[in-house]
A and B are shown apart, each in its own frame.
Chain A
Amino acid sequence: MEVTVTLTVNGIERTITTDSERPLIDVIREDLQLTGTKEGCGEGRCGACSVLMDGQRVLSCVTAIVQADGKSIRTIESLAQGNTLHQVQEAFLAEGAMQCGYCTTGMIMTAVGLLEANPRPTDEEIIAAMRGNICRCNGYTKILNAIRRAVGRPQEVSAI
């Protein structure tokens, strides 16, 4: 069934007429061509598709477009201001917390969601928030280090 929804994506209001069951990720990637949001499973189990909806991290692969009606969506493309990266992006770069990088944008959006709700999370809180995000390449350690760095605890970051 076709529906018309209005949502704000990265600050720009969009009106989209499409099938009501279509997942938000498809609209983001296909209609808006924001391909920084990745699909890793399509079943809500890997976090690659993480975006922020009204400030809350959601999995865009299991969010139907109708659920996004009237909401404000932020994707990875919204984080940097001109040439200035967001502190979480900066931290991922500084720690080299990626290999193939396919999970990275979802990791970053999940971490940004966490930090906006809780600017000084403990390791336990970080791990609990990140548990839904899978990385198959790098063993998570550097990702944890990157998030520690982003919240201002770089001294706990191991060398290399």
Chain B
Amino acid sequence: MSTHNQVLETVEDYQGTDATSCVSTGGFEGFKVEISRRGFVRMLGAGLLITVTEGVSLAQRRGGGSQQPSTVVARLFINEDGTFTCLSGKVEEGQGARTELSQAAAEELRVPFDRVRLVMADTNVVPDDGITAGSRTTPYNVPPMRQAAATARELLERLAARQWQVDPDGLEVRDGKVTNAATGQTLTYAQLAKTEGVDEMFRQRVDGGIALTSVDDWKVMGQPISKPTHRDIVLGRHRYPSDIVRPNMLHGKLLRPVSYGATLESIDLSPAQAMKDVVVVRDGQFVGCAAPMVFQARKALEAIAETATWKTVPHPSSREISTYLKEHARTDRARPNARGSTETAFGGAAKTLSETYELAYIQHTPMEPRAGVAEWTDGKLTVWTGTDGPYRVRGDLARAFGLRDDQVQVIVPDMGGGFGGKHTGEAAEEAARLAKAAGRPVHVRWTRAEESTWAYFRPAAVIECKGALDSNGSLIAWDFTNINAGGAAIDTPYNIPNTRILSVSSDSPLRQGAYRCLAATGNNFARESFMDELAAAAGADPLEFRLAHLQNERIRAVLVEVAKRFDWPARKKKVTPELGVGLACGTEKNSVVAACVEVAIDRRSGEIKVLEVGEVFECGPVINPANLTNQVQGCIIMGLGGALREEMVFADGKILNASFSRYLVPRFDDVPKIDVYLLENNDIPSAGGGETPIIAIAPAIGNAVFAATGVRVRSMPMRARQLRSALA
């Protein structure tokens, strides 16, 4: 069994922690360090907790009496053996947060990677680091983790100095040891952590703003370190949310409406009630069965589902989604972001182009569908569940059951994927309801069909693009409106004197939410495809046309690099009606990406096969190149699915392809030749890298299809039938 997270199952409330001293950290503005010996000792073993908080100085400056709770930015615990337990509210779902946060702590503590253990996403012990989303862990959670670790190191160094009665400036810390170079004396962290009265020693001012290790001196950060859970994973020992078992636990199944918006009018529960060992629960629209085996719970639910009668409501179909979104667009509420005058520019343009792009709803389809285990003990609720927002789910559960936040504990074992699709905690709440009624712990695992119907979707969209060229082929006006998908990466990075850019909301017939890079994928698809259309209209090479309008040095750098690695000019000359090349670039979340692709076209079937993808990505200093390469490769393949095949098909309030046999995600034989290159840039802080690499794939494919066939398929996905009919 994995030791990550589950270890804390029996943890007592953090609220009981007895902080024995508070150290103001002076110049380290707005931060405070708290140390405690009791409280955490019970769950983490003997040692010392250091909590770095934010917001204290501010409150003090306002007159001191503020009752505003300070925000914990990092917690780390020095064990008596000199290892460290760091605590983070982030979750691990395969993206690599566990590894990079551990690397961050180890780097600043000056210890090898394996001396840090990271406890993540247990609301009873970790700080509320917010939801795990938006590529935010790297820019917003790695720095405080480093700061906390550096502070701990500094404190330990002072402790050694005090023992030796020397000036701490002359000491050196390496490999978990403080060394006095002058005398050759050493003290290990383990020895220091065991020092009698260590907490007394900590009652001193810690000089703020301890310098963090510069990229050039990184020893643990920057390394291709594997996730600490890898060994357990290949052994089949890692426990995902779906694998959690509690004593006396039942498995639950929920009754789902026959279609979106349908309400239950009647149901006969007796067939399930007659079954052995089955608990049946009905509370208004909530109906579920729980039994010792999944199979029994499913059979019981099927038996009563047959008796249910429903009142259904009309629901638009995926065929008419674009019209529907346009009709329901809330144009009155949207305010465009405008520069210059597009109206004048379009009036005086040599050439004007206007096109509409469409985006289908898609599902994240993480390999592990939603799962939650709920256990009630003395009116308190503990859940183990796969969610990106442990604290959000804690709040939701507290509200749903009329509890205080501190009566709910949410634990997120490292889970099986999310891609923005697990911001919520449905399975946990369903399990909690059933568990409450059954008086026993209950596990609810969603099926693939449930995940593909009752979770949420990446929004569909209609994107209207208009552009104008002057007589020199320069882009002088740009009008871009996204209906429904949102404003991520909607601004053009190109230098255009007159622009009007607008994100308009609409009524989404499907429940929609976050997705890897969210609207940036659709916005970049439309923008980069349309840029290609404008380049063609101007009679320019797509690469030259982009560079002529691009000042952003970072995007230029990745674009030029990918074109060089792909041998763009030569490959472009080899384009045939069956073989095309295309390129695209973009920026989002402070990282930049460019891709070149080669596609083969089957002109009779309209099938598009991606043969090769070259992608250059830059996100500042790379914290873990192995993990980042995985993320970029993963983005390329996931991007390929959204570009060519993935779309939710629905009618009459039902998803018609809620299965892997009908919703076609990329498989092994879809994998093209891939060249990933991470461009170095150590002059800026590290940005997250798990999302932006997806945004260049679809437009590069579309542009390659156009290069070969002269046909623009203006939709995601670019369906074979669309290309086939255009070529017929």
A residues sitting closer than 8 Å to B (CB atoms) are 19, 21-23, 26, 29-30, 33-43, 45-46, 48, 75-77, 79-80, 85, 89, 92-93, 96, 98-105, 108, 127-128, 130-144, 160
Contacts and interface: CB of A to CB of B under 8 A. Distances in A.
Given A45-B659, A102-B94, 17 more contacts: A22-B293, A29-B243, A30-B294, A34-B236, A36-B237, A43-B448, A48-B367, A89-B235, A96-B224, A104-B234, A134-B367, A136-B367, A136-B417, A137-B367, A138-B94, A140-B668, A160-B625
B226 interface: yes
A7 B517 CA distance: 47
Nearest to A90: B234
Contacts of A108: 234
A101 B634 CA distance: 13
A89 B666 CA distance: 24
Secondary structure type dominating chain B contacts: loop
A101 B238 contact: yes
Given A21-B295, A101-B416, A130-B668, A139 B630 contact: yes
8 A-B pairs closest in CB distance: A36-B236, A100-B94, A102-B416, A139-B633, A76-B236, A99-B94, A101-B233, A45-B660
A52 to B, nearest CB: 13
Contacts of B445: 39
Interface of B: 93-96, 224, 226-227, 229-231, 233-240, 242-243, 245, 251, 293-295, 364-369, 414-417, 419, 445, 447-448, 625-627, 629-631, 633-638, 659-661, 665-669, 671, 674
Contacts of A100: 93-94, 366-368, 414-417
Given A96-B626, A102-B367, A36 B667 contact: no
Contacts of B94: 98-102, 137-138
Contact of B633 (A35, A104, A141): A141
B367 A46 contact: yes
Contact of A43 (B95, B243, B635, B661): B661
B417 A102 contact: yes
B630 A96 contact: yes
Given A19-B295, A26-B294, A43-B659, A138 B245 contact: no
Contacts of B243: 29, 35
Contacts of B417: 99-100, 102, 136-137
A138 B236 contact: no
B638 A136 contact: yes
B350 to A, nearest CB: 43
B363 to A, nearest CB: 11
Contacts of A40: 367-369, 448, 660
Contacts of A48: 367
A144 B235 CA distance: 19
9 contacts: A38-B242, A41-B448, A93-B231, A98-B94, A98-B230, A105-B233, A105-B236, A134-B660, A140-B633
A133 B234 contact: no
Contact of B671 (A30, A36, A99, A144): A144
A77 B236 contact: yes
Given A38-B416, A130-B668, A138 B661 contact: no
Nearest to A105: B236
Nearest to B296: A19
Determine which residue in B227, B233, B419, B627 has the highest number of CB atoms from chain A within 10 A of its CB, and name it: B233
Contacts of A135: 367
B240 A136 contact: no
A36 B626 contact: no
Given A38-B416, A92-B234, A93-B231, A43 B668 contact: no
Contacts of B238: 101
A144 B668 contact: yes
B516 to A, nearest CB: 10
Contacts of A104: 233-234
Contact of A131 (B245, B369, B631, B667): B667
A80 B251 CA distance: 30
A147 B278 CA distance: 45
A38 B368 contact: yes
B630 A46 contact: no
A128 to B, nearest CB: 8
B366 to A, nearest CB: 6
Nearest to A89: B234
A96 B224 CA distance: 9
B236 A96 contact: no
A144 B415 CA distance: 23
Given A40-B448, A101-B233, A131 B240 contact: no
Contacts of A101: 94, 229-230, 233-234, 238, 416
B630 A85 contact: no
A147 B364 CA distance: 27
A33 B633 contact: no
A104 B364 CA distance: 18
A80 B235 CA distance: 7
B294 A103 contact: no
Nearest to A29: B243
A76 B666 CA distance: 25
B633 A102 contact: no
A130 B670 CA distance: 12
A3 to B, nearest CB: 13
Contacts of B635: 139
A17 B254 CA distance: 26
Determine which residue in A30, A76, A108, A133 has the highest number of CB atoms from chain B within 10 A of its CB, and name it: A30
A22 B638 contact: no
A76 B245 contact: no
Given A33-B245, A37-B236, A133 B668 contact: yes
Contacts of A30: 251, 293-294
Contacts of B227: 96, 98
B667 A139 contact: no
A102 B240 contact: yes
Nearest to B251: A30
A95 B676 CA distance: 16
A93 B625 CA distance: 16
A148 to B, nearest CB: 13
A26 B224 CA distance: 37
Nearest to A21: B295
B233 A103 contact: no
